[in-house]
Amino acid sequence: MSFGDFRIFYLFLCSVLGLIIMSPTLAMFIELPSGESFSELWILGSDRMAEDYPLNVKAGNVYNISLGVVNHMGDLQFYMVCVKFRSQTDSPPNTTTNTPSPVPSLCTYYVFLRDRNNWETPLAFSFSNVSRYDHESSIGSLIVNDVSFSINKSAVWDSVNNGYYYQLFVELWIFNTRSKAVQFDNRFVSIWLNITEAE
């Protein structure tokens, strides 16, 4: 090895060692590109799995699901998790126009989450004042976590799917730091419920 080759090798080695030693300091000033920022929203079945969702439900029986949110936004976020219930005639959320459902929220959870943290809560629900008359089903009350809500929803017989179908759904809202307002995050999850038996 000639002196010139040794000199080049020595300068290369010093440069690499210098970068390794300086890397913690450089990391404070250089911001690397982050991945995609998003939030997760889910409903899980009674065993906290993506299965065993209630479908054919009866008045008076209690059904259990879990709601959850995960923050992948890169920093602390404020969320509103809105639980809603609709019949066939109520408008669902529209992800094309980024519009929430006009159906009023039955209950709302307010959640602060750090980046990469999750929040989960159980939700037990049941129905009362359920009646049927002439190809129409009517629900008077929905009980969510032992709180009764007067909903007065009706559904007509669905001959294709053989039932009276309603939808329990959850919308995710998030605080927008630019507009300084909580807005619909264009995310919702739902389960369909067939209530064929009256009280």
Residue keyed to tokens 């709302």: 108
Q: What is the pLDDT of residues 42-54, one digit of tens each?
A: 999 988 888 999 9
| pLDDT at 32 > cutoff 50 | no
Q: Which of 145, 1, 163, 129 is nearest to 62 (CA)?
A: 145
Q: What is the pLDDT of residues 115-166, one digit of tens each?
A: 999 999 999 999 999 999 888 999 999 999 999 999 999 999 999 999 999 9
**Given this model, what pLDDT does residue 174 score?**
96
Residue 86 identity: R
Percent of the chain residues past pLDDT 90, beyond the cut:
73
The stretch 51-75 carries a mean pLDDT of 95
**Given this model, what pLDDT does residue 6 score?**
64
pTM for this predicted structure: 0.80
**Given this model, what pLDDT does residue 134 score?**
87
**Given this model, what pLDDT does residue 22 score?**
67
**Given this model, what pLDDT does residue 34 score?**
59
Torsion sign, CA atoms 27, 31, 36, 37: positive
Please, which pLDDT band fits residue 98 given cuts at 50, 70 and 90?
very high
Cα 53 from Cα 85, distance rounded (Å): 16
Q: Which of 54, 79, 80, 56 is nearest to 66 (CA)?
A: 54
b/e map 63-89, b = 16+ CB within 10 Å: bebbbbbbbbbeeebebbbbbbbbbee
| pLDDT at 173 > cutoff 50 | yes
| pLDDT at 31 > cutoff 90 | no
Q: What is the pLDDT of residues 6-22, one digit of tens each?
A: 677 666 666 766 667 76
